[in-house]
Amino acid sequence: MSIAKSVTDVHKRLAFPEDFFSVLQRCASAVDKDEARSRRFRDGLRAMKSDPPADGFEFDRCREVLRSVRKEIDAGSLSAADGSLLVAAAAAECIPRYERLHISAAVFADTFGDITVWARDCLAKTGAWGITELPWFSHHLSLRLFALGRLQFELTALDLPYSRLEPRHNRNQAENRGAVYAVKGNLSCTADGFLRTPDDPPDIAAAFTTRYETLRTSGDTQLLVANTVREGVVLPRQTAFDRRDWTEQSLCGGERNVLDVHIPATGPLDTNDCLASFGQARRFPLFARHAPVGFSCHSWLLDPYFIRRLPETSRIRRFSSLFDIVPPVSVDYGEGLSRVFPVRHETGNPPPLTSLQKTVRDWLAGGALFRQGQGLRFTP
């Protein structure tokens, strides 16, 4: 099949913007007419599959090829339009696999609708249609990630340095308590309650070290002494828990599956839409067979100090309330800034600041750091 035919097939399912589709068609026609370029293009598609070639794309191989193409785009030897053509042609090859797995055309359209999202992002930043965020599509092409309603989901093993303590409701003294997150021991924390990570700037010092220890008192009583999380940050003071009053679920070790939540830039974050997405994800057959215990979301939208700056009516704040928030084990300090203040290819006067941009500007002016938060939501 020609590359142009592949692009047309996927366009029928995704309905690309006409200007973007025209760019893809021109690129595909140029590749089809050039034997050397066509051979290299098809070799790239084959390289994203397992060896010997299997039914679909393999995650690590996809990521390796797409990272290589991204480097060539950065170096100027390929264009962002070339990158988008590769992703679109690969998406076309996923259509038969979706059909064999009985995944609906609507889920395919929503999942690979990310092509248009990132092509629009490239247009806004550079003034030209294309895709530069290529490695991200390793998740889509390997059928790890699916868009189910407003949100995207991906199965992953839960491995975080926390234990979730839940009250035993048959003991009166625990009757009115909710779940508590206890932090594993010997972890360095900053003064504002974040875990120290390799991503931290060198001037962010450790202020205290966590403790997680079981003590025996008189009789059979065992006390767990640990630092806990409140409002998304680790408290420096430890708390003692009578183990008779609490059950413990360790979140480390990768022994339980959860669904990673991703938030595509496709519109407002309506709480009801998000709740509906959680329900769809729980019922999605490819996920349900792995019995995920809940959801996990690592995002700048969940930075606890950022959330506190938002009004109660904020959709972002309402979205954050769907999760228990704990400090993440890694931080991309640039994500929040790049999302709130995106680079734009301006053709005229820049637009005025939005209310969100003004809030973040004023918050950062006071010396704040824009981090991320780790949201957890466990199913009943």
Decide if pLDDT at 175 tops 60. no
Burial label for 175, CB within 10 Å (0-12, 13-18, 19+), is exposed
Domain with CATH 3.40.630.120 in the chain: 256-378
Q: What is the pLDDT of residue 53?
A: 56
Q: Which CATH number fits domain 256-378: 3.40.630.120, 3.30.1330.40, 2.30.110.10, 2.30.31.20?
A: 3.40.630.120
Q: What tens digit of pLDDT does each residue of 23-62 get?
A: 999 999 999 999 999 999 999 999 999 876 566 899 999 9
Q: What is the pLDDT of residue 366?
A: 93
Question: How many whole angstroms from its chain centre is CA 59?
Answer: 16
User: What contacts 114, CB < 8 A, 6 or more positions away?
Assistant: 136, 137, 140, 147, 152, 264
Burial label for 343, CB within 10 Å (0-12, 13-18, 19+), is exposed
Q: What tens digit of pLDDT does each residue of 142-152 get?
A: 999 999 999 99
Q: What is the chain's mean pLDDT, rounded?
A: 94
CA 179 to CA 287: how far, in whole Å? 26
By mean pLDDT, which of 1-15, 16-30, 170-184, 185-199 is the weakest? 170-184
Q: pTM of the prediction?
A: 0.93
